[in-house]
Structure 1
Amino acid sequence: MKELSRNIIGTTTGKETFEYAWRDIALYAAGVGAKDNETQYQYEVGLKALPTYGVVPYWGTFGITPHRDLPRNVTFSLNLDQEGSFHMAHKLILHQPIAPMGARLTIEDIITEVYDRNGKGAVVRSELTAYDESGAKVFTNVGDTIFGAYSVPSAPPYPKSTVVFPEREPDFTEKDFVAPNQHLLYRLSGDTNRLHVDLEEARQRGFDRPIMQGLCSFGFACRLAVRDLVPGQPERIKSIEAQMRNPLFPGTEIELSLWKAGDGRAYFRLMDLQNSRPVLEKGEIDWE
């Protein structure tokens, strides 16, 4: 395996601009499965933003200056070997509610840590934070990407999740259906990675057809969780995180299971019901 230096910590994209309008908020909601009875996420009168709209610039293209042709987080500036690489975990922290009618934000993506997975790859953690025009933080994305071609002998081990599911039935379950064209709709929010649309690209990556975007599944989980935990009040969500376990294909039924874990906290798992396997695992969501 190749060795990766921890000297990459501190690498940054520099300051960039991310702009969006109410239409982008509504389009994102449709991209993560909002139904015709969830007009609060799609109608500009009384519009509310789903908290996970905050993940959009992490793998974004549209609305970002300087322009990106394809989604690129800070790790792409390192020209690392992409063999065996994938986005393995994500956390979104909401410092304030996302303005539903639009905003002009300053964003910066910085590598904050590098972990070793006992010879099974290097995990690079980056944090993309968005600031409003007053300089206040709006949201922070903490994304972990594994690079299977590397090891980092001097790095700390990748931290284990602290989520432990209670030994009882979930407090809430929500079923939903990921439409056959869901990946095409979600990409209109900016994740234009060709893996999610191009058949030949998908086959080169070992899939028989394009797969769903991992952060689209993340958005589905958040939308469904809001129904049960803070109905009609998505602005109360303070953070959401999960591990990405298995690829999900368009045209699949899914189920979210939620376990309350104290005041203002719940754990969750998102299952692919067609293949009986987890899509998102060790999930945690916090609200006020």
Structure 2
Amino acid sequence: MAIDYDKLMDWPFEKVEQTYSIKDSIIYALGVGYGHDPVDEGQLPFVFEEADFKAVPTMAVVLAGPGFWLRDPETGIDWRKILHGEQGIRWHKPLPKSATVTARTRIARVLDKGADKGALIYSERDLVDKATGDKLATLSSTTFARGDGGFGGATGPQPQPHELPERDPCAVCDLPTRPHAALLYRLSGDPNPLHADPKVAAAAGFKAPILHGLCTLGIAGHAVLRSFCEYDTTRLKSLKLRFSSPVYPGETIRTEMWRDGGVVSFRSKVLERDTVVLNNGCVELG
């Protein structure tokens, strides 16, 4: 079964409503590594409700999502060959520490890279605070459907990745991950057994369960928030990046950052394997 472009563009996404509590916000924060240093007072407000509590901004990526809709055979997509290629967040307001939020996903574009080259599916959703009607964030995602090129769709133009400066980074931040990091992060809404079951991971070609890509995104967001914002969440305006390689829980993630005015460019690598895992990153600061 091949991609039906018109059907995909008009995919009937339902509005999703999700209520999260301060406890859920803490679980997310712990899942992306906040609180690793228990005496770091900058991290305390994200993991201790009696502090001046605030939600981690990157938690927006796990709220009111559409679920694994690509697994529906009516999409025409071979879900076994899909990869999460890119992710973006634009914040309109700081996330409440607890709230009921709603969102409806939409397909923005589908590009045909050609037979044997796959397809790119661009999706978006606006996260809205149900109580106030305020738009909190806009989430954008690019899915690389490796097995679904050649359906006759448009081939471009394809957005170009953010270019990193060719100079030494302005700041470097090393953040370790715990061996159980994926088991903790999955409690925030991604129960894919690839991140928990060694047998499933082995069948997929990995030596052990891997860390969620969106968890690695949260760790890079932490690095920027720590290095340039002094943990002031109101200063983050947008973030976008490309996923390039998986992380194994227990590895150390080094984020290299370049600041040019209100823009921070970044990439993240695993120190133990000297492997870039996030690339072409860009954060806008306010």
* Equivalent pairs, count: 274
What's the CA shift for 1:3?
A: 4.1
What SS class does the counterpart of residue 185 from structure 1 fall into? helix
What's the CA shift for 1:59?
A: 5.6
Does residue 25 of structure 1 match 2:20?
no
Partner residue, 1:105: 101
What's the CA shift for 1:79?
A: 5.8
Does residue 89 of structure 1 match 2:86?
yes
Work out the CA distance in 2 between the residues paired with 1:21 and 1:82. Answer: 32
What SS class does the counterpart of residue 131 from structure 1 fall into? strand
* CA gap 1:95/1:12 in 2 versus in 1, 3 angstroms: farther
Deviation beyond 6 Å, 4+ runs, structure 1: none
What's the CA shift for 1:218?
A: 0.1
Work out the CA distance in 2 between the residues paired with 1:194 and 1:210. Answer: 8
What SS class does the counterpart of residue 143 from structure 1 fall into? strand
What's the CA shift for 1:12?
A: 3.6
- Conservation of the 8 A alpha-carbon contact between 1:75 and 1:111: no
Alignment-mate amino acid for residue 39 of structure 1:
L
Percentage of matched positions with identical amino acids: 29
Partner residue, 2:129: 132
Name the TM-score, length of structure 2 as normaliser. Answer: 0.90
Partner residue, 2:60: 54
* CA gap 1:256/1:26 in 2 versus in 1, 3 angstroms: same
* CA gap 1:32/1:242 in 2 versus in 1, 3 angstroms: same
Residue by residue over 1:109-128, the C-alpha shift from the partner in whole angstroms, topping out at 9 and shown as x without a partner, is 11121012344111111112
Name the TM-score, length of structure 1 as normaliser. Answer: 0.90
Partner residue, 1:11: 11
> Structure 2: where are the runs of 5+ without partners?
none
> Structure 1: where are the runs of 5+ without partners?
61-71
What SS class does the counterpart of residue 209 from structure 1 fall into? coil
- Conservation of the 8 A alpha-carbon contact between 2:64 and 2:103: no
- Conservation of the 8 A alpha-carbon contact between 1:130 and 1:139: yes
Residue by residue over 1:82-117, the C-alpha shift from the partner in whole angstroms, topping out at 9 and shown as x without a partner, is 2321111100111111001x1011111111210123
Partner residue, 1:259: 258
What SS class does the counterpart of residue 80 from structure 2 fall into? coil
- Conservation of the 8 A alpha-carbon contact between 2:71 and 2:79: no
Partner residue, 1:273: 271
What SS class does the counterpart of residue 79 from structure 2 fall into? coil
